[in-house]
């Protein structure tokens, strides 16, 4: 088992130890079990969660209405939950709804269509991945549309899900799409601390990432602050390529908050501290910085 598989499995196991683990089980999970098997045997926690006959603490009690195991106490979180006969399942990956029904802390939605349908706070996303082009799309718009669609889909199914791994594996076969694939692969990275982002910028270049100057490296800033400060380790962070493009785009577009100027124009001539403050703020608010 390679490291990624091990990490994915650990992630799934940690979910199954959560008191709300039932959220990751598809409502039609029985389709994936061995014919004749009882779903509750495979997922005892699911049965406990949803059994309509499970007793409740009587009204009037301080715990009134809460589920109980019948022993007189309130039902506790599940504790050690076994995987049952999952090993016998033919379609292991499809069983799990990889994306929880609420936005988790380890994913950031980039520009794109909001989640729709059953995946939007109602259950697992069931949509298909975007079609992989046979060759590199000719126009920037076509390329960005594909990248955004892929990133958005991966964000919905989960970056470590088998479906995402399969999709990225297929993309890896298309040499023409390598740069796009690298950008897609890293775009759903979770936010990191400033120290982490700075440390990464000191490492050799890595596909799917670009280095970003928190205080912009345009000519006037280099004259104002000097190359040493602009290129200092404190001022450089490494970001996923798509995030870097989005943040550069933000700096270039007129912004109401800055009187209709682009942030880059607004910041020209401003102090180092003010430029750094806004630079860190946009990293945080665009989901790159914790």
Partner 1 sequence: MIENLVKQFLSVALAQYDAIYVLDNRKYNRLYARMQKIRNELKNKDGDQRRALLPLLSHPNVQVKQMAANTLLGIAPIPARRALEEVKASGIQPQSGDAWGMIDALDDGSFIPN
What residues between 259 and 288 interact with partner 1 by CB under 8 A?
A: 260, 281-282, 285-287
Residue 101 makes contact with partner 1 by CB under 8 A: no
Query: Which of 37, 68, 101, 109 contacts partner 1 by CB under 8 A?
Result: 109
Minimum separation from the CB atom of position 11 to partner 1 (A): 21
**Beta strands at 209-213 and 236-240: parallel, antiparallel or unpaired:** antiparallel
**Helix ranges, the chain (H):** 3-16, 39-42, 44-50, 92-95, 140-157, 162-172, 178-186, 194-201, 219-225, 227-230, 241-252, 263-267, 272-285
Q: By C-beta, is 31 or 284 nearer to partner 1?
A: 284
Indicate the SS3 state at residue 134.
Answer: coil
Query: Which of 207, 249, 269, 271 contacts partner 1 by CB under 8 A?
Result: 249
Residue 120 makes contact with partner 1 by CB under 8 A: no
Query: Which of 72, 141, 204, 205 contacts partner 1 by CB under 8 A?
Result: 141
Residue 111 makes contact with partner 1 by CB under 8 A: yes
Query: Which of 37, 54, 101, 145 contacts partner 1 by CB under 8 A?
Result: 145
Minimum separation from the CB atom of position 199 to partner 1 (A): 24
b/e 171-206 (16+ beta carbons within 10 angstroms → b): beeeeebeebbbbbbbbbbebbebeebbebbeeeee
Q: Is 84 exposed, middle or buried (0-12, 13-18, 19+ CB in 10 A)?
A: middle
Point out which span in 56-64, 142-150, 190-198, 207-215 binds partner 1 (CB under 8 A).
142-150
Residue 158 makes contact with partner 1 by CB under 8 A: no
Closest CA to 111 of 185, 188, 213, 214: 188
Residue 250 makes contact with partner 1 by CB under 8 A: yes
* Residues that bind partner 1 in the complex, under the rule CB under 8 A: 103, 108-112, 114, 140-141, 144-145, 148, 245-246, 249-250, 252-257, 260, 281-282, 285-287
């Amino acid at each position: 088992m390679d490291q990624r598989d091990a990490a994915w499995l650990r992630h799934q196991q940690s979910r199954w130890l959560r008191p709300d683990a039932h959220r990751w089980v598809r409502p039609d999970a029985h389709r994936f079990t061995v014919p004749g098997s009882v779903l509750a045997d495979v997922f005892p926690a699911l049965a406990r969660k949803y059994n309509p006959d499970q007793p409740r603490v009587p009204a009037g009690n301080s715990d009134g209405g809460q589920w109980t195991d019948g022993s007189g106490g309130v039902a506790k979180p599940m504790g050690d939950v076994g995987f049952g006969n999952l090993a016998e399942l033919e379609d292991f990956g499809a069983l799990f709804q990889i994306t929880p029904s609420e936005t988790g802390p380890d994913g950031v939605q980039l520009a794109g269509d909001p989640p729709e349908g059953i995946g939007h706070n109602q259950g697992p996303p069931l949509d298909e991945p975007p079609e992989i082009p046979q060759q590199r799309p000719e126009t920037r718009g076509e390329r960005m549309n594909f990248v955004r669609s892929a990133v958005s889909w991966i964000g919905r199914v989960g970056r470590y899900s088998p479906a995402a791994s399969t999709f990225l594996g297929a993309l890896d076969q298309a040499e023409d799409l390598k740069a796009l694939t690298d950008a897609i692969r890293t775009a759903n990275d979770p936010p990191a601390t400033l120290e982490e982002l700075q440390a990464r910028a000191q490492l050799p270049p890595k596909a799917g990432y670009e280095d970003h100057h928190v205080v912009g490296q345009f000519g006037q800033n280099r004259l104002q602050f000097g190359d040493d400060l602009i290129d200092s380790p404190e001022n450089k962070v490494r970001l996923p390529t798509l995030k870097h493009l989005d943040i550069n785009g933000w700096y270039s577009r007129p912004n109401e908050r800055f009187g209709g100027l682009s942030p880059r124009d607004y910041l020209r001539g401003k102090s180092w501290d003010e430029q750094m403050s806004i630079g860190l703020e946009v990293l945080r608010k665009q989901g790159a910085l914790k």
